[in-house]
Structure 1
Amino acid sequence: MRWRLGVRLGVIFLGLFLCLNGIPLLVFEVPRVGELLAMGWIQLWSALMPTLGNAVFGIEGPISTMPAGSSDMTWNYVQEFWYLVIAAVGAIGCAAYVRRQSTYDTILGWFRIIVRYSLAQHMFSYGLIKVFGRQMALDPLMLERTYADSSPAGLLWTFMGFSPTYQAFAGLAEVMGAVLLLSRRTTTLGALILIGVLANVAMMNFCFDVPVKIYSSFFLLSAVFLAAPDVRRILDVFVRNRGTDPVDHSAPRLGRGLGIARVVAKAGFVLLVSWWGVEQWQQRAARLARADDRPAFHGVWDVDQFELEGEPQPGELRWRRLLVAHPGMAMVHTANGERRRFSLEHDAANDTLTLTRLDVSEPPRVLAVARLASDELVLTGPPGPGRATIHLRRRDTEHAYILMRGFHWVQEVPDTR
């Protein structure tokens, strides 16, 4: 069947757009080499941003390209715009100069290969980290936070982190779809599974304002692209109750050199995925081994009394809570709602804590520690101007109701507190 002009333009445009997104991300996952290429890629876009971003869109101020855990930064949207431009120019040029139907079939075949492995790579990456419970996890900072104080993304993270079983289930669905993408015969099935999985992921990202909306939309579009050629056969079987003819899933004809390269590349991809799995398992084992090796003063400490120069203090000077969840890191909540981040160093010999602000340039503060009990202590020293005496009591987050509630087959009364 010959492709109409609109189909040719649409397929080439979408294929180019997905490849422009997918190829860099796929290459960046190659150990060692990928890190260097990623640094070069960031530097290239940093050099282009003043022209492609600031000048074209009239954006004032520098556009940061430094990775910050978000795919929804300003530079990402600028990048996607130019990907769309390149894909549109490429589709028009291809439609204008390529006439042979067999050439379009070959181009589509290569697009599908690239999109298959790009999507599989991301689903293995995101899926395995969920399977081993390393993407979301509860910690004292989350248990201390009220719903009103949570960001929408933080609320989603807490919801997912509460249940490692559900998180692993979600990860297994992503891994299952990725495995099926590795074979031409099962690509459509894998794509259909991932459409369901990724539609849910994308909706959560949009509805809870998680800053990976661009990536999740790209992954979902990739799965739709892979399933689209079989949409008529899918409708015949599941909607029209008709039979359908089989499809030729044989490998594209390649020369000897390209054939060997294809086998080597696929074997390398499988080894890379296996390495990811082993790495995630090792990191999970290491995390479990460190479970009891908590930082000094680990937990949530409520301030019972805060005196500055012997006088009780309200407002911004008064501490309300001290949180220590990670080695060398602490957070202080003040009475007026401010949150201050510190590096924390414990001198066990002298029993002192050294707090250094991370977000503001201030001299380190050294506080003497007096332990009244395992869950009670007094800090004395200069947390800011003047000398303070701070009485703190550790909150029992390990026995929080949400962690102790457990599972019940029988519930006479719903528990929705």
Structure 2
Amino acid sequence: MAHDSAWSPGKRFGFLFLALYLLFNIVPDGLAFIPVVGELFTAGWLALWAALMPVLGNAALGIEAPIEVFQAGSGDMTWNYVVQLWFVITAAVGAGVWTAVGRGRTDHAKLSAWLRIAVRYSLALAMFAYGLAKWSGNQFQPPDPMRLSETYGDSSPMGLAWTFLGFSPAYCWFMGLAEVLAGALLMRRRTATLGGLVAGGVMANVVMINLCFDVPVKLYSSLLLLMAVVVVAPDARRLLAVLVWNQPAPAADLSAPVLGRGLRVVRVIAKALFLLMIPATFLLQSQGGEMRAMASRGPLYGLWEVESFSLDGTVRVHDPDDALRWRQLFVGEFPYAIVRPMKGEIQAFGFASDLEAKTITLSERGQPPVHVLRFEQPAPDVLELTGKVGQGTVAVRLHRVDLEHTELMSRGFHWVNERPYNR
């Protein structure tokens, strides 16, 4: 970003706007990564924006509905967009004031160098987090029987993408390797530009997946792509000279910024915290992987298709418009079960079984009401349930669906294909 010639006011404004906007995002994200401190900061950060939303969201932007501020697994909630808008507005005002006050300045070369350092370390941390999430299996999982029983039309665009990506553990490892490699390269000045290029390629693909498959991480992934561009930008002319114009390019200045004693101490502390965050992130991701490894498949695990269903003694026939009749019951590895009715939304329950008493317990989100059903298994792949669910008494007969031998799960890999096997 820095050049020998003086910067025009427009260039100084543009740089300061970009710097402020990035720092508004980088600083909170960085603090949230710190163990223990991150939890306290995140709680305070959410509380702050929850208090500001009625003014900055509802009143200022004319949004009538209440704006909820909480973490729901989506980074594209209304409050996220409101926050980013105010980051843009504040950055523009701050850059304008800074440019006007500093009319005598010729450039912001030193600040540009420091911004690049902050951006590349923040981007590196995100790359490590996403890469380790893929290696531990936390981000994508192979399709379970519930997913395999759905038609393409039943799945959401995000569900379709997650099934595709999770189907192949080898591909998840490959994606994770690219992200970890980008993070490692970004940590050193000599390889930072290459790290930015790798991160840019990875994040361009991620952004397109998020946009094209409606994955609610559009804002954050776009921010990471912008950060990769910022890392590469100082070497853009040199890269174009070599790769496009076929001309020699001068060597880059890789010297560290000249620092006073105080800033040297700050740099050492910041670097130490960053290096501690990497193993901390790895441990957090590993814990999620260990939880899945500990998950057990009980004797009732799997997908069960309903053969017959009666409610309060009345047999309910196989009617696709019947919202009361069950179509499927899925018992997962973790203590949960899912009931899919013939019509309408699926119902998720906490699940427990007592094999000696021959009962299963379905609890709604771990809280009352609790439904206790007796079960019988006339055959290993047949299940009969009786008992009260809600205000009614049900009697259900189900059979286990064999999905491990479906075409998708049994086809495998072939080096030699005499003709396309596309079904």
Q: TM-score, normalised by structure 1?
A: 0.94
Contact 1:23–1:114 under 8 Å retained in 2: no
Distance 1:227 1:272 in 2: 24
In the TM superposition, 1:205-284 aligns within 5 A as 205-281=210-286, 283-284=288-289
Distance 1:296 1:258 in 2: 61
Unaligned runs of 5+ in 2: none
In structure 2, the residue matched to 1:192 is: 197
Distance 1:17 1:128 in 2: 27
Report the 3-state secondary structure (helix = DSSP H, G, I; strand = E; otherwise coil) of the residue aligned with 2:323.
Answer: helix
1:75: how far off?
0.2
Write the letter of the residue equivalent to 2:242: V
Residue among 40, 46, 62 paired with 1:36:
40
Contact 2:135–2:173 under 8 Å retained in 1: yes
User: Is 1:405 matched up with 2:411?
Assistant: yes
Report the 3-state secondary structure (helix = DSSP H, G, I; strand = E; otherwise coil) of the residue aligned with 1:316.
Answer: coil
Residue among 177, 183, 202 paired with 1:178:
183
User: Is 1:303 matched up with 2:309?
Assistant: no
Write the letter of the residue equivalent to 1:96: A
In the TM superposition, 1:17-416 aligns within 5 A as 17-99=21-103, 101=105, 104-138=108-142, 139-281=144-286, 283-285=288-290, 287-288=292-293, 290=294, 293-295=296-298, 297-314=300-317, 315-358=322-365, 363-416=369-422
Report the 3-state secondary structure (helix = DSSP H, G, I; strand = E; otherwise coil) of the residue aligned with 2:392.
Answer: coil
1:201: how far off?
0.4
Distance 1:186 1:212 in 2: 28
1:308: how far off?
2.8
1:39: how far off?
0.4
1:268: how far off?
2.5
For 1:136-175, what per-residue CA distance to the aligned partner results, in whole angstroms no more than 9, with x for missing partners?
1022221122100000000000001000111111111111
1:395: how far off?
1.0
Report the 3-state secondary structure (helix = DSSP H, G, I; strand = E; otherwise coil) of the residue aligned with 2:420.
Answer: coil
For 1:330-369, what per-residue CA distance to the aligned partner results, in whole angstroms no more than 9, with x for missing partners?
111112243122222323342112223349x974322111
Structure 1 stretch 293-302 or stretch 404-413: which is displaced more? 293-302
Write the letter of the residue equivalent to 2:374: A
Distance 1:364 1:225 in 2: 54
1:187: how far off?
1.3
Distance 2:214 2:312 in 1: 44
Write the letter of the residue equivalent to 1:30: I
1:213: how far off?
0.2
1:255: how far off?
1.1
Write the letter of the residue equivalent to 2:81: Y
Distance 2:356 2:65 in 1: 49
Contact 1:140–1:299 under 8 Å retained in 2: yes
1:283: how far off?
4.2
Distance 1:281 1:347 in 2: 31
Report the 3-state secondary structure (helix = DSSP H, G, I; strand = E; otherwise coil) of the residue aligned with 1:372.
Answer: strand
Contact 2:304–2:398 under 8 Å retained in 1: yes
Contact 2:12–2:107 under 8 Å retained in 1: no
Contact 1:161–1:167 under 8 Å retained in 2: yes
Unaligned runs of 5+ in 1: none
Distance 2:268 2:368 in 1: 58
Contact 2:7–2:107 under 8 Å retained in 1: no
1:59: how far off?
1.2
For 1:391-412, what per-residue CA distance to the aligned partner results, in whole angstroms no more than 9, with x for missing partners?
0111112333212111001111
Structure 1 stretches (4+) deviating beyond 6 angstroms?
Answer: none
Contact 1:346–1:354 under 8 Å retained in 2: yes
- In structure 2, relative to structure 1, the CA distance for the partners of 1:381 and 1:285 (3 Å cut) is closer
CA RMSD of aligned residues (A): 1.9
Identity level (%): 48
Distance 1:64 1:295 in 2: 39
Distance 1:142 1:283 in 2: 21
For 1:251-279, what per-residue CA distance to the aligned partner results, in whole angstroms no more than 9, with x for missing partners?
11111122122123213212221232244
Write the letter of the residue equivalent to 1:216: S
Distance 2:407 2:379 in 1: 24
Contact 2:35–2:280 under 8 Å retained in 1: no
Write the letter of the residue equivalent to 1:305: S
Contact 1:317–1:384 under 8 Å retained in 2: no
Report the 3-state secondary structure (helix = DSSP H, G, I; strand = E; otherwise coil) of the residue aligned with 1:369.
Answer: strand
